[in-house]
Amino acid sequence: MNTVAKFEAEHMNRRVDTFLMSVLKSRFEAIVREMTLVVMRASRSAVIKNARDFSCAILTYDHRLVSVEDALPIHVMSMDMATRPITRLFDDIKPGDIFFNNCPFTGGTHHADLIVAMPVFYEGEPLFWMIALSHHADTGAPVPSTYLPFAKTIFEEGIHFPCVRVAQNYVEKADILRIGSMRNRVPELWLGDVRAQIGACRTGEKRIAELVGKYGSDVVMDFVEDWFDYGARCAKAAIAKLPAGSYTYETRHDPVPGVAEDGIPVRITVTVNPQAGEIVVDARDNIDNVPGGLNLSENTATGSCRIGVFNNLDESVPHNEGAKSQIKVLLREGSVVGKPAPQVGTSVATTNVNDRLMMAGNCVFSEMGAPYGQAEGGSHLPAGIGVISGRDPFKDGRSYVNQIFVGYAGGGARSGYDGWLTYCGPANAGLIQLDSVEVDESMYPIIIESRGVVADSQGYGQFEGAPAVGGMFYPLEHDMTIVYAADGTTFPPKGVLGGGNGGASSSWKITSTGHAADLPAFAEVVIENGAKIAFRACGGGGYGSPLDRDPLRVLESLNRGWLSPEKAKEVYGVGVRLTSQPGLFELIT
């Protein structure tokens, strides 16, 4: 069939015309954006309001992903796993019902990500799910953190809501919310954040009702099917351009004392079938669950396998159910990268080992050779994005808990592009925002003394990884606890195809006498009044041989302050000299 005939055949099979399809696509995106604004403006915790650690989405009532906008990849690529158990557990779902789900054993990501799900009905027929997921500052765990690498089971984590109905007929169940508030160190923040999510879902419900009221449910649902078909066609076309074959990549998470003394290897095999337009990601060849919180949930393992593929397809491929359907994921029960055994700890399931899984997915395509794939990026949870807690001496000793985002890791390079400085980690790939220094200092009794790029910390290559961010902060007139899990201290991000490794993460404490002492990579540390904590996150890995880098790119890194003249000469063979403008260099020709 020639191109014109194929286009005409596809057009004949469409349920709605192309102009209306474009309009409805944009309307769904606008609804998700409005939900996102509600969460961001109405939430109280800095981790949600400032860093934007939350996501909104729309699914069909039968659990197929319709639309996401500015969502964190790890939150939404397997969102159906969190709503499917609701329809299995409840046979009386009605308009005005709202459900909580943050349990990894009922399809959640990890216990800190509270999913609020609301069904949307029209004339008695259930059509969609409105979803608002927020990462909460506290969940009532024994340690004042939501990341617990040493928590062996769910009994050492915070509260779980395994598909709990918290509202009926639009009326909140006060007893359920009271349970959540009581099990929280910052109950007012928790309840405010929850109600922001509920408000977002109700806003989405209202907008869907307006949309369906204007166009009719048949037209809207026909659009959804066409939208899924379009997503599948786009994914098939993108996969058809890749070299056929099976490719394997392995990376390794750092050692964690008492949990994984030798680290945790993460291995995947990707099989590309261009003719079928399908990719299979096999993550079954991984070790069993470890005695700690680093195990992945089925949701995060499945989503991360898909994310690695999407990161290597054309950006125009929509992230909807149709495109997802072309990526098959194989997991093993009882594996650290797979379906966790009952009751094992999964509190760190969205970062760390999960980051390594996405790195493997990003990097495995480099086994095809240039220009495919990308280098490893930095990992989550250096001390610069640790969870801080204490009693605020300026607010009558009131307790505070929050995850700060003072400084995080750089991204890996890919063909044609240097790494992304504000990457943070592959689970959110640049969508988590760095905190405002002024806002953090106004909300919490801390001073952020410094934050900046660490020169020469990137992975060198034809295309450079992003450099690391480092900094220092300290508590005011009280003792502050910080909990962090800085992967990339022992095994920093690797380069690919001749690219160099990124710089390693590190953390240290400066006492009131000025003595600097190295800190463990995974720790709960008290920073006493008068002491300071300093950190350096990971730099991203490089892509390709440094000798192939364009000298003008070398000069650009130099003049940004990301590269020293010594490294320019040593690594790239590029000589420079100062110009008449202070601090600026030029090439020696």
What is the reported pLDDT for 60?
98
Q: Is the pLDDT of residue 198 over 80?
A: yes
User: Nearest-CA neighbor of 501 among 408, 381, 410, 417?
Assistant: 410
Q: Is the pLDDT of residue 4 over 80?
A: no
Band (pLDDT 50/70/90 cuts) for residue 327 is very high
CA atoms of 323 and 228, how far apart (whole Å): 7
Arithmetic mean of pLDDT, 229-242: 96
User: Nearest-CA neighbor of 403 among 197, 112, 156?
Assistant: 112
What is the reported pLDDT for 8?
40
The pLDDT tens digits for 415-452 are 999 999 999 999 887 889 999 999 999 999 999 999 99
pTM of the model: 0.94
What is the reported pLDDT for 430?
81
Query: Which range is least confidently modeled, 9-18, 132-141, 492-501?
Result: 9-18
The pLDDT tens digits for 140-190 are 999 999 999 999 999 999 999 999 999 999 999 999 999 999 999 999 999
The pLDDT tens digits for 31-78 are 999 999 999 999 999 899 888 999 999 999 999 999 988 889 899 999
**Alpha carbon separation from 230 to 77, 217, 379, 460 (Å, rounded):** 18, 20, 34, 39
Arithmetic mean of pLDDT, 278-302: 98
In percent, how much of the chain has pLDDT > 70? 98
541 CB-near residues (< 8 Å, 6+ apart): 375, 376, 377, 412, 413, 419, 459, 461, 465, 493, 494, 495, 496, 499, 500, 501, 502
321 CB neighbour count, 10 Å cutoff: 21
CA atoms of 342 and 347, how far apart (whole Å): 14
Average pLDDT of the chain to the nearest whole number: 95
What is the reported pLDDT for 11?
47
Arithmetic mean of pLDDT, 511-540: 96
Q: Is the pLDDT of residue 9 over 70?
A: no
Q: With both helix axes pointing from N to C terminus, report the angle between 565-572 and 551-560 in degrees, rounded to the nearest 10.
A: 160
> Is 173:166 a contact under the CB 8 Å cutoff?
yes
